[in-house]
């Protein structure tokens, strides 16, 4: 883009074409007052404050700087007497309306209106005041709205529409009666992202979690990384006297451009919750009793040593944490593999989708995987496959909306459920395939692209390894578009236009979601997806970027760090002797030969069968998060000794023999790796709550007790070791991350030579979904926007916002069995039953019901078995 030269207040500037005068000035340190313009929103020009004098080709005119793009050679003056006179009178009008209730306003001290008033040195106005006296609107636990203070700048309306895609609020009425509000004045019903609070230049929108607990100038602001989902947004923790008061965001920090979701913005109350475990607990005569660290660690090391002596180290199983830092997890697996001498370690995400780690490695080597999540903003086509972005990764949704709004990016959403994704694009392609037909759908796309030569097949043949094999298989396949359309219940037109878009339209960003990853046929579907990507990549000119959904903040990291049975840190195959040798040399310990776990047998299977005698669980609640509740409970019953490290007394901790209290993400340092494989650093915000310790420290102390010299004194030292022994994290110790930067995008992409893609052929199979007369429905589970595990459960505001986990039932199904919204429904599988309130919807396909698995107090996993679970529903009278 070409640059433009202009002069502002006598200063010569060069700015990119398309910049408006307001931003040109702001970026160069020249202040222009303004309340309605926000760089991430569309320009509006409603507050009338940013007036400047513009001289262009000898003509001098007054212009609103936010609405005026720069042009070559113009001269701008921001401080003429006329400009000042105009701006002042605009402010007089605003202040005639705005109540000057600053002493009781939470915004005071960080208020845009206050700042402008102060800058213009305004005192008394000439106009008679005409203020509203409406009551504060408090119809939800998180946000409150004060009409009286509103200056109608419209920022909140635009955030709601453009960033969140919700449009819950809009201008209502006209003229003097205009207010910001919901339709029919109903209670706010939105995604509660808090974007309105973040952009409001007055005290109209307020964060109720802060309300009257602190003044803005008392708050210490520390940026760090959010602990909920795998997007890895930068949050700014506002703390006072060692307590977290609220969370804000910074538009200039991190990948999220200041956008957050309801959990990231309001889900902080767990940190200073009274339910935190603050001291070690040891089970004595059946009851968990407080103990000292010394006592607890002595006991654990004694018990572990006894078990190791009697049964060998492999009799101890370890569960790592998707929530803890890379450093915590690295040390945890090192402790398990060296001190305990067991390779029976795992994490829940790997148990849920065991083939994913290997396939991600393939996609990295083939250069299919995205180098960072931000690539989404440059895409020409977005393809969400089985990914419920709105619920699972809301801020990725905001990024996608930005691309759609600014670049006219096309969107394709493929899901078995009719999931919600709202944006300014009203005509996106929806592929609502029949449950279990996803592999067929993707293979059909491949077939069409090849058959109709939508990409350069010659190039594909030369730049991939075995295209011929794929081609001959496609020829032999009898699943043409017509048959596929019938099987998947997606129209032929939609399949056709999807393959056209994917093959032809430049950069393509694909998100593979949890619905694919946790399907029993995940491996086949992902293989097909990789083939599709390789095909487009090799045959077209532009790059495909593929991202695999991860559930938690550090799900990627826990796998990277090797808290899996079959890979040493950095996905080094443990069965490969040279890998073992390298790691043994660097750790100075011989690794256990015993790698007994196969895909079919995880840690809890081994525990159920009595091969594992003790479990060491770090920051995980498998009793609820493991997909088969009955099995995991049996496993815990069988195991003789359980150590749980957690912030709260979770269902798992309640079964433990020793509970070790840990620090949350704001009380420790370390790094998280997001699902775009960007490593981001945490900052310590407050001191450890109670007697809790960071997980790495506990592991260190325990290792010392057991006679090993774990001499780490900080997470930094651990990361230094990681950078030496984990190839994919090589270089991190010298990166910006270690200095003052936040982020580190792994250089693994540039280092390794790209590998030719080898098409791993996957047949077009249907997921085996059993039919049962007695249990006619299929249970689907997935993410929830408003909750995620232990943390949100202990954040009281989130709980009062979403206190009920609903079972979503298809409207037609519900009508047949006479279930209406709000009815109590019994859901029963062969394993267990549960009662939940019903929500009838068209989001769930007929024959299925959906229950979120993120409401931790709803043990939906008790009903589940491997694969899809058959259930029946009945109304509770």
**Residue ranges in contact with another protein by CB under 8 A:** 161, 166-174, 181-184, 186, 189, 422, 426-427, 820-822, 839-841
Nearest to 522 by CA among 781, 767, 769: 767
Residue 59 or 177: which CB sits closer to another protein? 177
- Among residues 647, 787, 853, which one has the least CA distance to residue 267? 787
Q: Which two tokens stand for residue 169?
A: 């609020």
Q: What is the 3-state secondary structure (H, E, C) of 150-198?
A: CCCCCHHHHHHHHHCCCCCCEEECCHHHCEEECHHHCCCCCCCCCHHHH
Which CB atom, from 31 or from 171, has the smaller least distance to another protein? 171
DSSP notation for 63-125 = EEGGG-B--TT-EEES--HHHHHHHHHHHHHHHHHS---GGG-TTTTS-HHHHHHHHTT--S-
**Nearest approach, Cβ of residue 426 and another protein (Å):** 5
Would you say 168 or 659 has its CB closer to another protein?
168
Helix, strand, coil fractions of the chain, as percent rounded to 5 = 35, 20, 45
Greatest extent of the chain over all pairs of C-alpha atoms, in Å: 93
Helix (H, G, I), strand (E, B) or coil at 456: coil
Compute the least distance from the CB of residue 162 to another protein, in Å.
12
Task: Tell me whether strands 205-207 and 179-181 are parallel, antiparallel or unpaired.
Answer: unpaired
Select 38 or 839, whichever has its Cβ closest to another protein. 839
Nearer to another protein, 839 or 872 (CB): 839
Q: How far is the CB of 730 from another protein (least distance, A)?
A: 48
Cβ(233)–Cβ(256) below 8 Å: yes
Torsion angle of the four alpha carbons 802, 806, 811, 815, in this order, in degrees rounded to the nearest 10: -120
Q: How far is the CB of 651 from another protein (least distance, A)?
A: 30
Neighbours of 672 (CB within 10 A): 27
**Closest distance between another protein and the C-beta of residue 180, in Å?**
9
Q: Please give the structure tokens belonging to residue 226.
A: 């959010």
CB of 430 to another protein, least distance (A): 11
Q: How far apart are the first and last CA of the chain?
A: 67
CB of 166 or CB of 400, closer to another protein: 166
| 3-class DSSP state of 825 | strand
Q: Which is nearer to another protein, 427 or 773 (CB)?
A: 427
Q: Name the residue nearer to another protein (CB basis): 169 or 360.
A: 169
Nearer to another protein, 428 or 451 (CB): 428
Residue whose C-alpha is closest to residue 78's, from 129, 8, 12, 156? 8
Reading the block at residue 571, the tokens are: 């996905």
Among 830, 318, 856, 805, which Cα is nearest to 623's?
856
Shortest distance in whole angstroms from residue 539 CB to another protein: 32
Complex with another protein: residue 352 or 839, whichever CB lies closer: 839
* Minimum gap (Å) between residue 843 Cβ and another protein: 10
Pairing verdict, β 287-290 and 281-284? antiparallel
Q: Which is nearer to another protein, 152 or 718 (CB)?
A: 152
CB of 399 to another protein, least distance (A): 21
CB of 422 to another protein, least distance (A): 7
CB of 161 to another protein, least distance (A): 8
- CA 664 to CA 407: how far, in whole Å? 39
> Min. distance of Cβ 427 from another protein in angstroms?
7
Q: Which DSSP symbol is given to 693?
A: B
User: What is the DSSP code string of 607-659?
Assistant: HHTTS--EEEEES--HHHHSS-HHHHHHHHHH-SEEEEEESB--TTGGG-SEE
- Nearest CB to another protein, comparing residues 356 and 836: 836
Rounded CA-CA distance 378/332 in Å is 38
Question: Closest distance between another protein and the C-beta of residue 593, in Å?
Answer: 57
Of the two residues 734 and 842, which places its CB atom closer to another protein in the complex?
Answer: 842
């Amino acid at each position: 883009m070409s640059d433009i030269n202009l002069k502002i207040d006598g200063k010569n500037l060069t700015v990119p074409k398309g910049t408006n005068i307001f931003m040109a000035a702001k970026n160069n340190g020249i202040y222009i007052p303004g309340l309605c313009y926000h760089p991430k929103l569309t320009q509006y020009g409603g507050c009338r404050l940013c007036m400047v004098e513009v001289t262009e080709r000898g003509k001098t005119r007054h212009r609103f700087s936010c609405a005026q793009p720069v042009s070559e050679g113009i001269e701008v003056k921001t401080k003429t007497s006329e400009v000042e006179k105009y701006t002042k009178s605009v402010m007089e009008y605003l202040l005639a309306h705005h109540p000057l209730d600053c002493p009781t306003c939470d915004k005071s001290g960080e208020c845009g209106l206050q700042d402008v008033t102060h800058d213009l040195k305004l005192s008394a106005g000439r106009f008679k005041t005409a203020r509203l006296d409406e009551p504060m609107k408090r119809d939800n636990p998180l946000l409150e709205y004060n009409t009286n203070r509103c200056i109608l700048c419209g920022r909140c309306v635009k955030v709601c529409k453009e960033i969140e895609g919700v449009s819950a609020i809009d201008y209502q009425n006209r003229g003097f009666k205009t207010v910001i509000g919901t339709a029919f004045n109903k209670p706010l019903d939105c995604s509660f992202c808090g974007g309105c609070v973040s952009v409001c230049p007055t005290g109209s929108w307020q964060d109720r979690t802060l309300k009257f607990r602190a003044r803005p100038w008392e708050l210490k602001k520390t940026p760090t990384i959010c602990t909920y989902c795998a997007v890895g947004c930068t949050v700014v923790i506002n703390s006072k006297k060692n307590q977290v008061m609220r969370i804000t965001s910074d538009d200039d920090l991190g990948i999220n451009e200041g956008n957050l979701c309801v959990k990231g913005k309001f889900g902080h109350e767990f940190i200073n919750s009274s339910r935190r475990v603050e001291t070690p607990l040891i089970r004595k005569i059946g009851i968990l009793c407080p103990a000292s660290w010394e006592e607890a660690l002595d006991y654990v090391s004694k018990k572990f040593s006894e078990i190791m002596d009697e049964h060998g180290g492999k009799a101890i199983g370890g569960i790592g944490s998707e929530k803890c830092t890379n450093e915590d997890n690295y040390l945890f697996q090192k402790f398990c593999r060296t001190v305990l001498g067991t390779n029976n370690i795992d994490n829940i995400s790997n148990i849920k989708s065991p083939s994913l780690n290997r396939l991600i490695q393939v996609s990295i080597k083939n250069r299919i995987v995205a180098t960072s999540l931000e690539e989404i903003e440059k895409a020409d086509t977005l393809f969400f496959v089985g990914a419920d972005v709105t619920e699972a990764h809301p801020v990725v949704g905001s990024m996608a909306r930005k691309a759609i709004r600014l670049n006219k990016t096309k969107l394709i959403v493929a899901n078995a459920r009719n999931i919600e994704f709202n944006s300014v694009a009203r005509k996106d392609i929806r592929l609502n395939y029949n449950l279990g037909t996803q592999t067929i759908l993707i293979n059909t796309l491949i077939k069409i692209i090849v058959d109709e030569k939508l990409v350069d097949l010659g190039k594909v043949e030369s730049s991939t390894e075995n295209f011929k094999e794929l081609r001959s298989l496609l020829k032999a396949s009898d699943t043409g578009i017509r048959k596929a359309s019938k099987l998947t219940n997606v129209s032929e037109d939609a399949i056709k236009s999807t393959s056209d878009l994917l093959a032809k339209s430049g950069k393509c960003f694909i998100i593979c979601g949890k619905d694919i990853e946790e399907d029993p046929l995940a491996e086949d579907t992902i293989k097909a997806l990789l083939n599709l990507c390789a095909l487009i990549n090799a045959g077209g000119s532009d790059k495909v970027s593929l991202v695999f959904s991860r559930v938690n903040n550090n799900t990627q990291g826990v796998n990277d760090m090797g808290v899996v049975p079959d890979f040493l840190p950095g996905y080094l195959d443990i069965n490969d002797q040279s890998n073992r040798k390298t790691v043994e040399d660097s750790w100075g310990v011989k690794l256990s030969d015993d790698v007994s776990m196969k895909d079919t047998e995880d840690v809890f299977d081994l525990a159920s069968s009595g091969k594992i005698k003790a479990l060491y669980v770090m920051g995980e609640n498998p009793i609820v998060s493991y997909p088969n509740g009955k099995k995991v409970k049996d496993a815990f019953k069988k195991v003789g000794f359980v150590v749980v490290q957690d912030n709260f007394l979770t269902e798992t901790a309640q079964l433990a023999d020793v509970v070790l209290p840990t620090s949350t993400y704001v009380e420790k340092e370390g790094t998280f790796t997001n699902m775009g494989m960007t490593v981001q650093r945490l900052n310590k915000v407050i001191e450890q709550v109670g007697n809790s310790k960071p997980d790495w420290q506990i592991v260190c102390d325990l290792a010392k007790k057991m006679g090993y010299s774990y001499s780490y004194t900080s997470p930094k030292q651990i990361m230094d070791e990681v950078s030496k022994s984990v190839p994919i994290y090589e270089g991190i110790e010298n990166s910006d991350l270690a200095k003052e930067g936040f982020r580190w995008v792994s250089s693994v992409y540039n280092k390794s030579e790209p590998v030719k893609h080898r098409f791993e052929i996957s047949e077009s199979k249907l997921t085996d979904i059993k039919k049962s007369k007695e249990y006619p429905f299929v249970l689907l589970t997935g993410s929830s926007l408003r909750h995620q595990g232990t943390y949100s459960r202990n954040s009281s505001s989130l709980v009062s916002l979403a206190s009920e986990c609903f079972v979503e039932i298809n409207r037609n199904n519900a009508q047949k069995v006479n279930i209406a919204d709000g009815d109590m429904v019994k859901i029963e599988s062969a394993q267990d039953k549960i009662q939940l309130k019903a929500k009838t919807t068209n989001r769930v396909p007929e024959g299925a019901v959906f229950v979120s698995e993120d409401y931790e107090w709803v043990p939906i996993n008790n009903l589940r078995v491997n694969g899809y679970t058959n259930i029946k529903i009945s109304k509770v009278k």
